[in-house]
Amino acid sequence: MTAEPPRPQRLRRLEVVFVDSPAYFVTACAVSRRKILARRCVQEAFIRFAKNGPKRGAWIGKYVLMPDHLHVFVALDEEKINLADWMKSLKNTISKALRVQKIPSPHWQKTFFDHVLRSSES
pLDDT, residue 78, reads: 85
Decide if domain 27-117 falls under CATH 3.30.70.1290.
yes
What is the per-residue pLDDT across 71-109, written as a single tens digit (0 to 9) for each? 999 999 988 999 999 999 999 999 999 999 999 999 999
Q: Pick the closest to residue 31 from 75, 94, 86 (CA basis).
A: 94
Is the distance from CB of 35 to CB of 55 less than 8 angstroms? no
Angle between helices 83-100 and 40-56 (to 10 degrees): 150
